[in-house]
Chain A
Amino acid sequence: MPNIVVLVKRVPDTNARIVVSGDRVDLSAVKWVISPYDEFAIETALQHKEAAGGTVTALTLGPSDADKVLKDAKAIGVDEIVRLWDDSWSELDSNAIQSALAQAVTGLGAEVVYCGKTAADTGAGSTGPGVAERLGWASVSNITNASFDGGITVTSPVEGGSARVSVSGNAVISCDKGNMKVRKPNVKGIMMAKRAQVNVVSADAPVSTVSIVSQTPPPAKPAGKKFEGASSAEEVARLLRDEANVI
Chain B
Amino acid sequence: MSESVIIAEVNKGTVAAVTAELVSAALALGTTPTVVVPCTDASVADGAGFEGVSKTIAVKGDCFTNYDAASWAAAIDAAAPTGIVIAAATPQSKDVAARVAARRGISIVQDVVAIDGMNLTSPIYSGKAMQTVALSGDAAISVRANVFPAAASTAADVSVVDQSGDVATAVQEIIARASARLDVSEANIIISGGRGMGSPDNFSHLEKIADTLGAAVGASRAAVDTWDEIPHSMQVGQTGKTVNPNLYIAVGISGAIQHLAGMRSSKYIVAVNKDADAPIFSHADYGIVATWEEALPVLESAFSSMMA
Contact = CB atoms under 8 A, between A and B. Distances in A.
B286 interface: yes
A177 B241 CA distance: 11
A128 to B, nearest CB: 8
Interface of B: 11-12, 66-70, 73, 91-92, 94-96, 98-99, 101-103, 105-111, 119, 122-139, 168-177, 189, 213, 232-233, 235, 238-240, 242, 246-247, 257-258, 261, 264, 267-270, 272, 276, 281, 283-291, 294-296, 298-299, 302-303, 306-307
A224 B284 contact: yes
Contact of B286 (A132, A139, A240): A240
B286 A95 contact: no
B255 to A, nearest CB: 12
10 contacts: A25-B129, A36-B239, A94-B107, A96-B107, A132-B69, A139-B99, A141-B91, A162-B233, A225-B287, A230-B290
Interface stretch (A13-21, A47-55, A65-73, A82-90): A13-21
Contacts of B134: 210-211, 213
Instruction: Output the residue of A128, A210, A227 with the most chain B CB within 10 A.
Output: A210
Contacts of B127: 218
Interface string A221-247: 100111111111110111111001011
Contacts of B287: 224-227
A178 interface: yes
Given A133-B102, A221-B283, A244-B268, A161 B302 contact: no
Nearest to B136: A209
A199 interface: no
Nearest to A131: B102
A208 interface: yes
Interface in A1-54: 12, 14-15, 17-18, 20, 25, 36-37
A247 to B, nearest CB: 6
A218 B169 contact: no
Contact of A139 (B69, B107, B129, B232): B69
A243 B131 CA distance: 30
Contacts of B172: 153, 163-166
B217 to A, nearest CB: 16
B82 to A, nearest CB: 16
A219 B105 CA distance: 33
Contact of B125 (A121, A127, A178): A121
A228 B239 contact: no
Nearest to B265: A218
A169 interface: yes
B101 A126 contact: yes
Name the 10 nearest CB pairs between A and B, nearest first.
A138-B168, A230-B294, A237-B302, A133-B102, A209-B137, A233-B298, A226-B287, A18-B128, A230-B290, A130-B102
